[in-house]
Chains A and B, each alone.
Chain A
Amino acid sequence: MLSRTAESLYWTSRYIERAESIARLLEVAYRMSLMPTAGEGHENEWASILAAAGVSHAFAATGQEPTAEAVTEYLIFDPENPSSIRNCIGAARENVRAARPALTSDVWETLNSAYLQFIDILQGPPARRDLLSMCEWTKASAAAVRGSFETTQLQDEGYDFFNLGCFIERADNTARLLDVKFYVLLPTIDMVGGGVDQYQWAALLRAVSARRAFHWAYKGDYAPEKIAHFLILNPICPRSLIHCCERIDHHLSRLSRAYGQRSLAGRLAAGMYGHLAENNVRHIIEEGLHEFLTDFITEARKLDEAVNRSYMFWGH
């Protein structure tokens, strides 16, 4: 497969996953904003999701206050924000266009339809642009693209590159989400266990569409430790770090087998997965969850670079 094509597949799924993560974050902020917060002392939830999305500085540079309207507009529609849902969908479509022969027409048409619908929404009446329906629309569109990919795509190397992008992006997003919960929403440790805290944990689980799954697995006990376990170390949670790393390792191993040699990326991913598999949540919290997550995000970035180098995405 052309390196340029592999790179396009990788970025297509990264952008789709990113759009979906932004939508999920916005939903969390919206839920939190409905909660009476006076006197509880935590920061503005709209500012928090800017931090989770990694765009606090860029947003601050626009000179706006992080109000519901401003943050929603910035994260969904702003053409100047490279991570806005609008730009993610546009970038995903550009990447699919560049890799078109490597994708089935089902995948292309699904994504192209989503893109055209977005343009329609942009040009339509403002009433169609409310936050919740935009979030639902984004999640449904991302699911449709992934669904058509899973059901029509040949499971060759292109399948692996697409999924690599998806799970590397998702792992990064989950880590950022958890980090925000601990250190942005609840800056003071004595608030842990309070009513607000409880509500925020529930919102966090909602953000990953895992509230019911969590109930099922942990019998509804919102202990921070258990939620951390669920989102970091429980392989049955599709957004947990360990699940993502397992899938990344799986796809890189498939590529190694197909190519007859193990890549730098493959070795890194195996290391990340092994490290998580041997860890336990008590240890992570004792050592510092924030530090753990920061390390993980750094590792994920290195992995991305290794994938680029191993498969010659930069060509020369």
Chain B
Amino acid sequence: MSTKPDFFNEMFDGAEIRPAYTKVTKWFDDLGEEMLALKKAEAEALFRRIGITFAVYGEGGSTERLIPFDLMPRVFTRSEWDRLERGVKQRSRALNAFLWDVYHRGEIVRSGRIPGELVYRNEAYEPAVVGINPALNIYSHIVGTDLVRTGRDEFYVLEDNCRTPSGVSYMLENREIMMRMCPELFRSARIAPVDTYPDLLRRTLHEVAPAKCEGEPTAVILTPGAFNSAYYEHSFLADQMGIDLVEGQDLFVDGDFVYMRTTRGPQRVDVIYRRIDDAFLDPLCFRPDSMLGVPGLMNVYRSGGVQICSAPGAGVADDKAIYTYVPDMVRFYLGEEPILKNVPTWRCGEADAYKYVMEHLPELVVKEVHGSGGYGMLVGPASTKAQIAEFAELIKKNPSNYIAQPTLALSTSPTFVESGLAPRHVDLRPYCLVGKEVRLTPGGLTRVAMKEGSLVVNSSQGGGVKDTWIVAD
């Protein structure tokens, strides 16, 4: 599929360069091609030296790869951002209200707004946490909301990630690299800083310490280990927050509390920012074959001896079928109108929708309800007849496992490619922190599909990243 002119190009207003982009465009123009090539090489060397890589499995053992980094930033004006910020915070509040509700009385189901089977039969619904009241009743402490833009004022939410959204280290490191590559720009353009994020995250983790915590809370990050593809991010965040990065083997349960093994003996842990899935948290409660977690952890969690962030069971809110109800959640729990729109979505489990989807597959994007990372999806307009037929079979076998959405006219952002600056499709993931306050760092991770016309921005599918600027109007 080719990039048609009717895609919203974030740099241009007709033939005019939009004001947000004037400074940065001029800077790159003045730089010249040779300098630009130099800067690109320099940036890549920096990424490699700092070790910002992700592990790729297969290909004969795990190797470390760089995510393609684009020097051209993506720019939002402050007023564009303000609206996004309000919308993302609103969603995060509603999602948390939903999570608390479905593990308690389930009012939203009783009211008939969401079918009970979608919630209670959901794979990510965790009966083991029913009735638990985590601190401040928050279940999802870090919400990564994926957004796309289709026009000047048109934003759509693609999905919400309520468990452990990744990529925030790229948001921070992209900025570091950009500040080293073009300090002049940062002096002249007023670009909102993102480097407060680790501090806000630490504050959030401290705010949700369990009631049994005495004095200053001890928070840790729980990682599956150095072979995990997001290990860089785990160690980066621990480093930035000045807290310990632990593996399951470093923790143990004794009585009512969790402890970590230190050189001074056992030290109590109050808050665990876990970067492992529910299924691996506690072999006594979930998967017995898992070595990544901590035996007995769930018991301590249930009795309020430790806080787990995000709370086990939070995944039910970022299921793609549940996603379709988020605007209803906003109205139901907050009594507000949703600021951000959902992408119109067909749930293939419903008869009418199923019929429509099967008849219109070549125009639609179909996603697996629990899929992630760009796997298990069909991009109709970019697929062959055979691929579409194959996918139709999958849907037929298990309709409720799929949702479908129209292919949106995703905005493009100018991106440096071999032939120079060219429009490429982008999305955006800001990171919302939920503690005593709901906080959003002014920025986010912009992912860019490096291939011409491609709509798939996932790094596992060859997508790249760019810095995201919020500048004064």
Q: B261 and A100: CB pair below 8 A? A: no
A259 to B264 CA separation, bound complex (whole angstroms): 7
Contact of B247 among A4, A6, A101 (CB under 8 A): A4
Q: A157: nearest residue on chain B (CB-CB)?
A: B263
Interface centre among A100, A112, A311 (most CB of B within 10 A): A100
Minimum Cβ distance to chain B for residue A302 (Å)? 19
Residue B359 is within 8 A (CB to CB) of chain A in the complex? no
Q: B49 and A4: CB pair below 8 A? A: no
Q: A109 and B263: CB pair below 8 A? A: no
Q: B264 and A2: CB pair below 8 A? A: no
Known interface pairs A105-B50, A112-B49; A3-B226 also in contact (CB < 8 Å): no
- CB within 8 Å: A-B pair count: 63
Minimum Cβ distance to chain A for residue B168 (Å)? 16
Q: B235 and A97: CB pair below 8 A? A: yes
Residue B262 is within 8 A (CB to CB) of chain A in the complex? yes
Of all A-B residue pairs in the complex, the 6 with the closest CB atoms, nearest first, are A100-B235, A101-B238, A101-B239, A311-B263, A6-B263, A3-B261
Q: B261 and A116: CB pair below 8 A? A: no
Residue B246 is within 8 A (CB to CB) of chain A in the complex? yes
B residues in contact with A259, CB < 8 Å: 263-264
Known interface pairs A2-B246, A101-B239; A116-B264 also in contact (CB < 8 Å): no
Minimum Cβ distance to chain B for residue A155 (Å)? 16
Q: A113: nearest residue on chain B (CB-CB)?
A: B49
Known interface pairs A98-B226, A100-B235, A101-B238; A3-B49 also in contact (CB < 8 Å): no
Binary flags per residue of A79-121, CB closer than 8 Å to B gives 1, else 0: 0000000000000001001101100010011001100100000
Residue A1 is within 8 A (CB to CB) of chain B in the complex? yes
A45 to B259 CA separation, bound complex (whole angstroms): 53
A32 to B250 CA separation, bound complex (whole angstroms): 49
Residue B260 is within 8 A (CB to CB) of chain A in the complex? yes
A178 to B250 CA separation, bound complex (whole angstroms): 40
A residues in contact with B226, CB < 8 Å: 94, 97-98
B residues in contact with A253, CB < 8 Å: none
Minimum Cβ distance to chain B for residue A156 (Å)? 11
Binary flags per residue of B74-95, CB closer than 8 Å to A gives 1, else 0: 0000000000000000000000
Known interface pairs A2-B262, A311-B263; A109-B247 also in contact (CB < 8 Å): no
B residues in contact with A98, CB < 8 Å: 226
Chain A residues within 8 Å of B, Cβ to Cβ:
1-6, 94, 97-98, 100-101, 105, 108-109, 112-113, 116, 157, 161, 255, 259, 311-312, 315
Interface residues of B in 223-253 (CB under 8 A from A): 226, 231, 235-236, 238-239, 242-247, 249-250
Known interface pairs A3-B261, A4-B261; A101-B245 also in contact (CB < 8 Å): yes
Contact of B235 among A3, A101, A112, A311 (CB under 8 A): A101
Minimum Cβ distance to chain A for residue B194 (Å)? 18
Instruction: List 18 interface pairs A-B (beta carbons < 8 Å), by A numbering.
Output: A2-B260, A2-B263, A3-B250, A3-B262, A3-B263, A5-B244, A94-B226, A97-B226, A98-B226, A100-B239, A101-B238, A101-B239, A101-B243, A101-B244, A101-B245, A105-B239, A161-B263, A259-B263
Contact of B261 among A2, A113, A255 (CB under 8 A): A2
B residues in contact with A5, CB < 8 Å: 244
Q: B49 and A109: CB pair below 8 A? A: yes
A316 to B236 CA separation, bound complex (whole angstroms): 27
Interface centre among A3, A113, A255, A311 (most CB of B within 10 A): A3
A94 to B235 CA separation, bound complex (whole angstroms): 13
Minimum Cβ distance to chain A for residue B49 (Å)? 5
Size band of the interface chain B makes with A:
20 to 34
A residues in contact with B242, CB < 8 Å: 101
Q: B244 and A116: CB pair below 8 A? A: no
A54 to B349 CA separation, bound complex (whole angstroms): 68
Minimum Cβ distance to chain B for residue A260 (Å)? 9
Q: B250 and A4: CB pair below 8 A? A: yes
A residues in contact with B231, CB < 8 Å: 97
A residues in contact with B243, CB < 8 Å: 101
Minimum Cβ distance to chain A for residue B247 (Å)? 7
Q: B235: nearest residue on chain A (CB-CB)?
A: A100
A112 to B231 CA separation, bound complex (whole angstroms): 15
Residue B180 is within 8 A (CB to CB) of chain A in the complex? no
A109 to B52 CA separation, bound complex (whole angstroms): 11
Minimum Cβ distance to chain B for residue A122 (Å)? 15
A43 to B50 CA separation, bound complex (whole angstroms): 46
Q: B237: nearest residue on chain A (CB-CB)?
A: A101
Q: B263 and A1: CB pair below 8 A? A: yes
Additional pairs, 7, CB under 8 Å, beyond known A3-B263, A6-B263, A101-B245:
A2-B250, A97-B231, A101-B238, A101-B244, A109-B49, A311-B263, A315-B249
Binary flags per residue of B41-58, CB closer than 8 Å to A gives 1, else 0: 000000011110000000
Q: B266: nearest residue on chain A (CB-CB)?
A: A312
Minimum Cβ distance to chain B for residue A99 (Å)? 9
Q: A158: nearest residue on chain B (CB-CB)?
A: B263
Minimum Cβ distance to chain A for residue B54 (Å)? 14
Q: A112: nearest residue on chain B (CB-CB)?
A: B51
B residues in contact with A101, CB < 8 Å: 235, 238-239, 242-245
B residues in contact with A4, CB < 8 Å: 247, 249-250, 261
B residues in contact with A312, CB < 8 Å: 261-263, 265
A255 to B264 CA separation, bound complex (whole angstroms): 10
A residues in contact with B263, CB < 8 Å: 1-3, 6, 157, 161, 255, 259, 311-312
B residues in contact with A3, CB < 8 Å: 250, 261-263
Minimum Cβ distance to chain B for residue A91 (Å)? 13
A residues in contact with B236, CB < 8 Å: 100
B residues in contact with A311, CB < 8 Å: 263
Known interface pairs A100-B245, A116-B48, A116-B49; A1-B235 also in contact (CB < 8 Å): no
Q: A109 and B262: CB pair below 8 A? A: no
A101 to B220 CA separation, bound complex (whole angstroms): 11
Interface centre among A4, A94, A312 (most CB of B within 10 A): A4
B residues in contact with A157, CB < 8 Å: 263
Interface residues of B in 247-288 (CB under 8 A from A): 247, 249-250, 260-265
A112 to B244 CA separation, bound complex (whole angstroms): 21
B residues in contact with A315, CB < 8 Å: 249-250, 261
Known interface pairs A94-B226, A157-B263, A315-B249; A2-B244 also in contact (CB < 8 Å): yes
Minimum Cβ distance to chain A for residue B431 (Å)? 20
Minimum Cβ distance to chain A for residue B275 (Å)? 14
Q: A108 and B51: CB pair below 8 A? A: yes
A259 to B231 CA separation, bound complex (whole angstroms): 31
Q: A160: nearest residue on chain B (CB-CB)?
A: B263
Interface residues of B in 359-411 (CB under 8 A from A): none
A residues in contact with B245, CB < 8 Å: 100-101
Minimum Cβ distance to chain B for residue A153 (Å)? 13
Known interface pairs A112-B51, A113-B49; A1-B262 also in contact (CB < 8 Å): yes
Q: B50 and A109: CB pair below 8 A? A: yes
A202 to B243 CA separation, bound complex (whole angstroms): 49
Q: A96: nearest residue on chain B (CB-CB)?
A: B51
B residues in contact with A94, CB < 8 Å: 226
Interface centre among B231, B244, B262 (most CB of A within 10 A): B262
